[in-house]
Amino acid sequence: MSQSPNRLHELDSLRALAALGVIGWHYTNHFQASPVAYLMLPFYRHGLLLVDFFFTLSGFVLARAYWTEQRSKTLMHNLRDRVARIYPLHFVTLCAVALMQCYLINHLAGQAFIYAFNDKFDFALNALLLNRTGLERGFSYNAPSWSISTEFVVNVLFFVVIAIPRKAARLGLLALFAISLVVTSKNGLISNEKVLWAVDNDVFRTIVGFLVGVGASVLHTKYLSRVAVKSWIADAVALASIGAFLYYCARGDFSRDWGDLAAALALFPTLILSVIHGNIVKSILNFRPLVYLGTISYSIYLVHFPLQLAVHIAAISIPMKMPYENAFFFIGFLIATVALASLTYWSVELPGKRLLRSKSRAKTMSQLI
């Protein structure tokens, strides 16, 4: 667990809670079961919207880390760092799902679990992080990684833009945001449409969320961090944001009008900023087990579908009807996901990041000699 004094651990905890909410969304849709619905209903109905929270949080964190005088100019170094952060676990889970789907199709069921597009072309798109750009036919392999694909594309755009002079960078980011906001307001935040130049709507959706987070970071750095924000007001705003989001998610399905977009634009940056400046909510979110879940949240996000696939294969192989509706089974699945995520975090995510970063540094040094 990172103990960096500059790290906002309360945001790690928010990321963990969002990841668990996304698991709820995929659980009810993939297993056709909704255990403990009185607690999980917002996530069963609208949990996919939490992916947009990831985008906003990522924009906030990356702007805070990279849009500085020192880091913004080091384009290739920034890109290498980002690849080292996300690629090792992405590739390992991609290969794991490929092997399991192959076994399922060829030896057990004759058909894939949930996501059908699993050929060599789709594997190549996934391996290149292009699996949700407009080139694909549909969701494939470890499909939740679609957001990793779109976010990586947006990360590249962001690093390129911030490498130019700051005033021009601001104009470039504003132009990207305006175009993406028009596209997503027309098609809905959550849509399978391919829009401008046959690019997935999800790319523009990611740009909107990410740049809202960038804007929140600028607001925090330039203004809010310099004034004495009353902690009780920040706590009240944080609780109101959480309550409003849960109410919105529980009340209905996805909206092609402004509903989903307005919720994401208004509530996510407000929650992030209010949590930072609060006291009570911040203290709760700095509870060490929650912070640890935030530390491994990327692993939680990427391993939960492979684990679902493994459970499905087990159900066919035994064979038996899995008690997906049972609350204890659902809790057990969450515990197993966290345990597997811990394993992949320590055995894949961290070593892979260190390996790629050390190789990039060694290459840089060799070029300087």
Nearest Cα to Cα of residue 250 among 47, 56, 55: 47
> Encoding tokens for residue 185?
């307001």
The predicted structure's pLDDT at residue 223: 85
Write out the chain's pLDDT in tens, 369 residues.
444 557 899 999 999 999 999 999 999 999 999 999 999 999 999 999 999 999 999 999 999 999 998 898 889 999 999 999 999 999 999 999 999 999 999 998 889 999 999 999 999 999 999 999 999 999 999 999 999 999 999 999 999 999 999 999 999 999 999 999 999 998 888 988 888 888 999 999 999 999 999 999 999 988 887 787 889 999 999 999 999 999 999 987 766 678 899 999 999 999 999 999 999 999 999 999 999 999 999 999 999 999 999 999 999 999 889 999 999 999 999 999 999 999 999 999 999 999 988 865 555 434 434
The predicted structure's pLDDT at residue 296: 97
Distance from C-alpha of 272 to C-alpha of 339, rounded to nearest angstrom: 27
Phi, psi torsion values for 36, nearest 5 degrees: 40, 50
Handedness of CA 353, 293, 235, 209 (dihedral sign): positive
CA distances from 34 to 206, 254, 337 (A): 28, 18, 17
H-helix or E-strand spanning residue 99: helix 75-103
Amino acid at 131: N
> Encoding tokens for residue 199?
């690019």
Amino acid at 240: A
The predicted structure's pLDDT at residue 64: 93
The predicted structure's pLDDT at residue 357: 85
The predicted structure's pLDDT at residue 36: 95
Q: Is the Cβ–Cβ distance between 84 and 357 less than 8 Å?
A: yes
Phi, psi torsion values for 32, nearest 5 degrees: 55, 45
The predicted structure's pLDDT at residue 367: 40
Distance from C-alpha of 367 to C-alpha of 369, rounded to nearest angstrom: 6
Map residue 194 onto helix, strand or coil: strand
Q: Is the Cβ–Cβ distance between 180 and 154 less than 8 Å?
A: no
Phi, psi torsion values for 70, nearest 5 degrees: -80, -45
Strand partners, 200: 194
CA angle 77, 83, 85 (to 5 degrees): 105
CA distances from 214 to 150, 172, 238 (A): 16, 13, 19
> Encoding tokens for residue 288?
């060490």
The predicted structure's pLDDT at residue 20: 96
The predicted structure's pLDDT at residue 317: 93
Distance from C-alpha of 116 to C-alpha of 96, rounded to nearest angstrom: 16
> Encoding tokens for residue 180?
């993406």
The predicted structure's pLDDT at residue 239: 97
Distance from C-alpha of 52 to C-alpha of 18, rounded to nearest angstrom: 10
Alpha carbon 199 to its chain centroid, in Å, reads: 20
CA distances from 306 to 97, 101, 133 (A): 6, 10, 22
